[in-house]
Structure 1
Amino acid sequence: MPGKSDKSRSEAPARSSVDKDARSDRSVSDAVGLPAHVTGSGSLERLVKTASNYARAAASENTLKAYAKDWEHFARWCRIKGADPLPPSPEMVGLYLADLTSGSGLSPALSVSTIDRRLSGLAWNYAQRGVPLDRKDRHIARVLAGIRRRHARPPRQKEAIQADDILAMVATLPFDLRGLRDRAILLLGYAGGLRRSEIVALDVHKDDTSESGGWIEMLDAGALLTLNSKTGWREVEIGRGSSERSCPVHALEQWLEFGRVDFGPVFVGISRDGKRALDRRLNDRHVARLIKRCVRDAGIRADLPETERLALFSGHSLRAGLASSAEVDERHVQKQLGHASAEMTRRYQRRRDRFRVNLTKAAGL
């Protein structure tokens, strides 16, 4: 037992320093202060608080959480290797990336896209500390280029939900308050080609809440959504459908009416007895869980084992479904999805355009 006690004592400082780093890292994005040569005052302190609020709004909450975890993982890795994460060392970062690829460390081997994201997280964290990391340094750039060359794989795309699929999915929902809400989520997300974060960020009116990501205007011809998305502000037109069963605007109207939602977040939680809408905004994970549950209940891709087929679908399946199913000019789909380029829109079009134009025959063969 003495050995175990000694080991615990010897490891305690390392754990303590890592935990201390993690605690300080969680507030690094808020580190907005006064210049050293300026004397503080009440008005300046208020501006510091305002600037800190804007700094927090520069990235989404999920992104900030991911970056914090990236730094915590890297800091622990450095201490295990007997190094310090500060100041930035391109050599150590390059070794860290190689270790992530080999899987011989704190985690299994990671994909190239995840390693890219980890590097972005480290660069962001270093920038917040005022000690930028040079990603073009040869110790990082060449290692990353080699990782991409050797380990890169085609992107794993989620399955597109087709028009028949979405109708089968909403048919599994009851007509109680939860069913009305979830039906509106699925149809609105599908017809608008919305990200799951965009769906739950909607408010009924402009400026209803401080965390609003957009609002809805109900018109005779449909609903106009104004969204503050990752690519900036954009308007999304959602027209009325051919029948009430498939109409996203009708589903939204039903939810707002029976849920008595006339202010604040559009999509909120339901009381335990299922009889009233709450004030609490839904988390975007609800959309992902809803899609998987309805895919299962509707028997979509029933030819596959349940675990495998559920893994094929996510929130992006709604966006891919619209892009793949809407038989209109590509530029209209691009505008609806808020893509900066047609190439990005084509990534969402699952098999839509394959072999529509046969260049082999066009070349005379």
Structure 2
Amino acid sequence: MLHSEKLNFDDLLERAESLPGGEISESTWEGYQSDFRVFTAYCNIWEREALPASVETVEAYLKALQEKGRCVDTIIHHKNAIHKFHAINNMASPADTPKIKLLIKKLRREFGTKPKRKHALTTEEVTRMVVNLPDTLISKRNKAFILVGFAGAMRRSEISNLEFEDIAPTDDGIKITIRKAKTDTTGEGQTVYIPWGTHKETCPIRALFDWLTLSGVKTGPVFRSLAPSPFGYTITKRGISGATIARIIKALAETVGIDPQNVAGHSLRRGCATEAAKSGASLIRVSRHLRHKNTDTTQGYIDDVNSFDENNPVHKLGL
């Protein structure tokens, strides 16, 4: 605690300035920390200074990442991490120099490819994934987080971090507060509204309440990690991990004939956007539901929706 430490003004100032700040989210900052640890390890191996680093050190490191098979977007993320750590330490950034910018440009031109988007799960596919699951503890949990994640356009980290206290039932459905969102850089939280479903078998709220009733969860993480036991599964106090969420979605997708290599945790979020747009929801409403700051980002989530409808300009040519 603060009163038990002998800290001077310079110590406090250093701590304050080392915070990531409001311009990036907590998850982005954690990613930068992870990347910078890798960079530090590289520097230790080659006996180079990591902070401050030279332009030549950064140049060699980024090229080494490329030769290790890292994609250009990953390389840029590492470059940004190096820049951020120099910036918060009031050091000139070697990653923000003409030489490094030119290297990134060359890597983009030679090795850059359009990122392959993961399959956007449809309502019909999600239905087939969950409707015939057995009446077991683990299946109740899996069904609940898939339907809530799909309806709420939630990232897997948001599913993992969801807590009982973040759910507020209403007459019309449930209101979910997302306390740690990728785009919530100020930490104010974001709200998702999920109405009651039309069909009992696929209603996300009924599935959620079934899981809460069976599991007895009344506080803390909603979707818990389950530990194998001689009598089935035991509910732990830990939230299910993002990696486990992705693995379960892939496995259930495969059971209904979808290539698991084309599916990821983000398939729920992208699927929600695509299906809503196909059904006539406006881009603005879809964007708001996904908690995007602008509709351009939302448009990137939508898979060629209505590309051939009457608004396609080719129909106006009279061919």
- 1:290 pairs with 2:248: yes
The separation in 2 between residues aligned to 1:198 and 1:76, in whole angstroms, is: 31
Q: Does 1:246 align with 2:202?
A: yes
Match in the other structure for 2:9: 35
Structure 1 residue 172: Cα displacement: 4.4
Partner of 1:344: 297
From the superposition, tell whether residues 134 and 163 of structure 1 become closer, same or farther in structure 2 (CA, over 3 Å): same
Secondary structure of 2:300's match? helix
Aligned mates of 1:34, 1:282 — CA distance in 2: 41
CA separation of 1:53 and 1:217: change in aligned 2, threshold 3 A: farther
Q: Secondary structure at the match of 1:361?
A: helix
Is residue 160 from structure 1 mapped to residue 120 from structure 2 by the alignment? yes
Query: Is 1:264–2:220 an aligned residue pair?
Result: yes
Structure 1 residue 90 corresponds to structure 2 residue 55: yes
| Rg larger in structure | 1
- 3-state DSSP class of the match of 2:9? coil
Question: Over aligned residues, Cα RMSD in angstroms?
Answer: 2.8
Q: Is the 8 A contact 1:192 1:336 kept in 2?
A: yes
Structure 2 unmatched ranges of 5 or more: 1-6
Q: Is the 8 A contact 1:225 1:235 kept in 2?
A: yes
Q: Does 2:173 match 1:222?
A: yes
* One-letter amino acid matched to 2:236: L
Structure 1 stretch displaced more, 266-275 or 55-64? 55-64
1:48-87 C-alpha deviation (Å, 9 max, x unpaired): 99x69976998546852x4344234333444555533342
TM-score (norm 2): 0.84
Aligned-partner residue type, residue 286 of structure 1: T
What is the alpha-carbon distance in structure 2 between the residues aligned to residue 290 and residue 82 of structure 1?
43
Aligned equivalent of 1:187, options 130, 147, 155: 147
Aligned partner (choices 275, 280, 305) of residue 238 of structure 2: 280
Q: Is the 8 A contact 1:112 1:147 kept in 2?
A: yes
How far did residue 364 of structure 1 move? 5.3
Q: Distance in 1 between matches of 2:272 and 2:78?
A: 31
Give 3-state SS (helix, strand or coil) of 2:202's partner. Answer: coil
Q: Percent identity?
A: 29
Match of 1:323 in 2: 273
Structure 1 unaligned regions, length at least 5: 1-32, 39-43, 206-214, 301-308
Count of residue pairs the alignment pairs up: 301
CA 1:364–1:284: 2 relative to 1, 3 Å: same
- Checking the alignment, whether the CA contact within 8 Å between 2:173 and 2:194 is kept in structure 1 is yes
Q: Is the 8 A contact 2:25 2:183 kept in 1?
A: no
Per chain length, whose mean CA-contact separation is higher, i.e. which structure has more relative contact order (CA < 8 Å, sep 6+)? Answer: 2
SS of the aligned residue for 2:304 comes to coil
Cα gap change, 1:225 to 1:311, in 2 (>3 Å): same
Corresponding position: 1:201 with 2:165: no
Residue 362 (1) aligns with residue 293 (2): no
- Distance in 1, Cα, partners of 2:132 & 2:84: 44
For 2:90 and 2:17, the matched residues in 1 are separated by 16
**TM-fit CA distance, 1:144:** 1.3
Q: Within 2, Cα distance between the matches of 1:61 and 1:329?
A: 29
Say which SS state the counterpart of residue 158 (structure 1) adopts: coil
1:169 is aligned to 2:117: no
8 A contact 1:91–1:139 mirrored in 2: no
Checking the alignment, whether the CA contact within 8 Å between 1:288 and 1:315 is kept in structure 2 is: yes
